[in-house]
Amino acid sequence: MDRIRIRGGKPLSGTIPIGGAKNAALPLMIAALLTDETLTLRHVPVLADITTLQHLLVQHGCTITLTGAESAHEHGHALQLNARRIVSTTAPYDLVRRMRASVLVLGPLLARCGEARVSLPGGCAIGTRPVDLHVKGLERLGAKIDLRGGYIEASAPQGLKGAEINFTTVSVGATENLMMAATLADGQTTLVNAAREPEIVDLAVCLNAMGAKIEGAGNDRITITGVKKLHGAEHTVVPDRIETGTYIMAAAITGGELDLVGARYDLVSAVAVGLQSAGVAVTETAKGIHVRRSNGRLNGIDVMTEPFPGFPTDLQAQMMALMSTADGAAMITETIFENRFMHVPELCRMGANINVHGSSAMVRGVAHLNGAEVMATDLRASVSLVLAGLAAEGETIINRVYHLDRGYERVEEKLAACGAEIERLTDD
């Protein structure tokens, strides 16, 4: 299994290209199941999760053509997806368990084919993560759903019917699943207490380009007027705000300066405003975002994760690494997932001073972190250890790099190009 070795202590300096968002690209690829015409997606990041989803879509009958990077400076690739004929409406356990976002095929398959059988994804390292809101929402649209043998078995032989769906919890995935299903339902659907994440807006823009009638995406009330058929379209994936936020923190934790080309400030403003009060200058530029921390140490600030436009849970682990090296204390509260502090013991092995009390972590800044051999349990936890390693004195070895490869394209290349001493160790 690959590992990453970092010799820390070097301020980063240079330019990092920001890729398309993984969490936008996944539902966008799944949207291809809604039409028999070709959907072309540009700026799709090259990531393990994208490949996993390609396998799932191919077994449903989708053909996928891939073209390489669009320019020498850009990473990512373009995908052409065509689901002319759906050959299977079953999403098997073996693929769904590897990536929870696979459950998003449920709504589109049901809407297009009148039936779908999708494995329940089960829990994961960051929490139990049920899919009850997806299921209840589809039932509101008239689907009959049974949970049998670990599978969600859904049918709607007469098609789905528009309805009002009131989410009890804000859920990105449930909003996406229902929004896709409702595009082909008979009549109007209203999603109340919908998620407002930029990835939802991106999906709505793409679906509208495919002929859907969606209004209000980006607000907590989304209205979808069903149409008979969707058609092909071309769409460019929104920049990855979590990758952006991660590199903002990489510049901050090393006391460096980075230009993040292709990043969008409006997608990370909650992060930028918070970091500004911690002593990091985050500014919008013509090409993206400039970030700089050159004046001594950072101040500890309190952060609470919230649905967009609040501080994202997907940047909580990275923020904790950063606050480990700040002056004073920082209280970091996780409100989205119940078990997203798995990085804490690993950061503590590197010398961080963190105490967890329920859903909050009290981080007391230390003068410096020390390199160590560490291991992470999920994607964002692993990248928080990379950040800690970049700032630490001495050598850090990060195990289980496959977590990183799920969500960060060429992370070691991007960091090394800005002066980090980082390399991938590949076991033969």
Residue ranges binding ligand EPZ (CB under 6 A): 23, 26, 100-101, 127, 129-134, 169, 171-174, 195, 313-314, 336-337, 379-380, 407
Q: Which is nearer to ligand EPZ, 132 or 423 (CB)?
A: 132
What sign for the dihedral angle of Cα 174, 180, 184, 186?
Answer: positive
Q: Which is nearer to ligand EPZ, 91 or 298 (CB)?
A: 91
Task: Report the distance separating Cα 188 and Cα 111, nearest Å.
Answer: 14
- Given the residues 62, 113, 124, 418, select the one marked as catalytic: 124
What are the start-end ranges of the E strands in 254-334? Answer: 257-261, 281-284, 288-292, 303-304, 329-333
With beta carbons less than 8 A apart as the criterion, state whether 391 and 254 touch.
Answer: yes
How far apart are CB 401 and ligand EPZ at their closest, in Å? 16
Q: Which two tokens mark 219?
A: 């607000």
How far apart are CB 380 and ligand EPZ at their closest, in Å? 5
Active site residue 124: yes
Q: Which is nearer to ligand EPZ, 59 or 335 (CB)?
A: 335
Q: Which two tokens mark 165?
A: 């769906």
C-alpha 86 chain-centroid distance: 27
How far apart are CB 281 and ligand EPZ at their closest, in Å? 27
Helix (H) or strand (E) holding 385: helix 379-391
How far apart are CB 136 and ligand EPZ at their closest, in Å? 8
Angle at CA of residue 285, ends 282 and 288, nearest 5°: 85
Task: Report the distance separating Cα 156 and Cα 141, nearest Å.
Answer: 9
How far apart are CB 169 and ligand EPZ at their closest, in Å? 5
Sort strands 13-17 and 257-261 into parallel, antiparallel or unpaired: parallel
**Taking the CB of residue 116, how many other CB atoms lie within 10 A of it?**
30
**Interior/surface letters 219-249, b for 16+ CB within 10 angstroms, e for the rest:** eeebbbebeeebebbebbbbbbbbbbbbbbb
Q: Which is nearer to ligand EPZ, 11 or 137 (CB)?
A: 137
Q: Which is nearer to ligand EPZ, 132 or 413 (CB)?
A: 132
How far apart are CB 371 and ligand EPZ at their closest, in Å? 25
How far apart are CB 379 and ligand EPZ at their closest, in Å? 5
Instruction: Name residues whose C-beta falls within 8 Å of residue 386's C-beta, 6 or more positions apart in sequence.
Output: 4, 6, 250, 398, 404, 411, 415, 422
Q: Which is nearer to ligand EPZ, 169 or 295 (CB)?
A: 169
Task: Report the distance separating Cα 129 and Cα 102, nearest Å.
Answer: 13
Helix (H) or strand (E) holding 231: none
Q: Which is nearer to ligand EPZ, 40 or 377 (CB)?
A: 377
Q: Collapsing DSSP states into helix, strand and coil, what is residue 135? A: helix
Task: Report the distance separating Cα 284 and Cα 270, nearest Å.
Answer: 14
Task: Report the distance separating Cα 166 and Cα 360, nearest Å.
Answer: 29
Q: Which is nearer to ligand EPZ, 236 or 255 (CB)?
A: 236
Q: Indicate the residue whose CB is closest to ligand EPZ.
A: 173
How far apart are CB 203 and ligand EPZ at their closest, in Å? 10
Please list the active-site residues: 124
